[in-house]
Amino acid sequence: MSKTYNVAIVGATGAVGNEIIRILEERNFPVDELRLIASVESDGDFLEFRDESIMVQSLNKDAFTGIDLAFFAAGAERSKEFCPLAVTAGAICIDLSSAWRTDVDVPLIVPEVNASTLAIFRNKGIIASPNAMTIELLVALKPLDDAVGLKRVVISTYQSVSSTGQKAIDGLRLEIGELLNGRPVNPKIYPHQVAFNCLPQIDAFLADGSTREEGKIIEETRKVLGLPKLAMSVTAVRVPVFYGHSAAVNIETNEKLTAAAAHTLLTIAPGCEVVDDPTQLSYPMPIDAAGQDAVLVGRIREDQSVANGLNLWISADNLRKGAATNAVQIAELLIAQHL
């Protein structure tokens, strides 16, 4: 009989937690017991898994007894406090927050990109999953870096509200309804109205005028690719889309790579799906990326302003590959190679 595992999901009632439950079921992950953990407000609620109703329990220091794998999708502060407790109880933690991503003793993993670095999880018993936007960028950038080397990357992101959580999804629906009915909007989640608008701010501003989100994308991309000095510039924008992050990516490479060659590399790259036929008006869109795990790549063309330049447009589902699917893929890699 194949080995099964006792699995906990912290933040099970949130948007990402719900998606982890769905992905575990879709991919037939070898779960024995599934323990659903959330804040005290959700204590006693029920969620479905494999036609079974499972009661949600509140997060506390004793919640991880008997757990083999714990997914953390409840924010950085809870991860900082409870991941070490879970490890002490015998669990390996896969954390989706920013809490451990820059820790040198914690592997930051995108399975299609840097699976070979997973083994250092033994240092702390914790594995970090990158920022959603970083994950989809890395799936597209890795095959190009392997082929010709990356010299400089300039990124403009267009990020959906679902990465902020269910309240932001509900908030966008409310704002749209209010505006369509001629009523003013009172923003509750973001500093300004997001419906029919674009906000060039994700997370707090830093002293240099960039935002924390932009800094995360740069720092995490460099760590996962193993390119600590990669020249990068990022502008992150919140857009009125429910599900799916997109990005315009300009790349300067160390060696020449034609658009046709890049198209071929990305067509066979794990995790990528090339959607790029201008004659048919075919290109990646978040509406198409939503609900699937592939990173959609298109608008592949050479940048004529530099010797070795390429432009790409990418879209991916931020709750699936950008969060839940990547975390479950990490768990699959973990049990296949290390447990």
pLDDT band at 23 (very low <50, low <70, confident <90, very high): very high
pLDDT in tens, 202-226: 999 999 999 999 999 999 999 999 9
320: Cβ contacts below 8 Å, ≥ 6 apart: 19, 23, 291, 292, 293
Tokens of 161: 């509200």
Predicted local distance difference test score (pLDDT) of residue 42: 83
* DSSP, res 205: B
Tokens of 110: 């995108």
pLDDT band at 179 (very low <50, low <70, confident <90, very high): very high
Rounded (10°) angle between helices 132-148 and 259-268? 120
Predicted local distance difference test score (pLDDT) of residue 161: 98
Predicted local distance difference test score (pLDDT) of residue 40: 83
pLDDT in tens, 125-154: 999 999 999 999 999 999 999 999 999 999
Domain ranges (residues) in the chain: 5-130+323-337, 133-318
Name the CATH architecture for the domain at 5-130+323-337: 3-Layer(aba) Sandwich (3.40)
pLDDT in tens, 54-96: 999 999 999 999 999 999 999 999 999 999 999 999 999 999 9
Q: Residue 190 carries which side chain, given as an amino acid letter?
A: Y
Q: Which residue has the tokens 């898994």?
A: 49
CA torsion, ordered 265, 129, 313, 214, to nearest 10 deg: -130
What CATH superfamily classification does 133-318 receive?
Answer: Dihydrodipicolinate Reductase; domain 2 (3.30.360.10)
Whole-model pTM? 0.95
Question: In the predicted model, is pLDDT for residue 1 greater than 70?
Answer: no
Q: What is the mean pLDDT of the chain?
A: 97
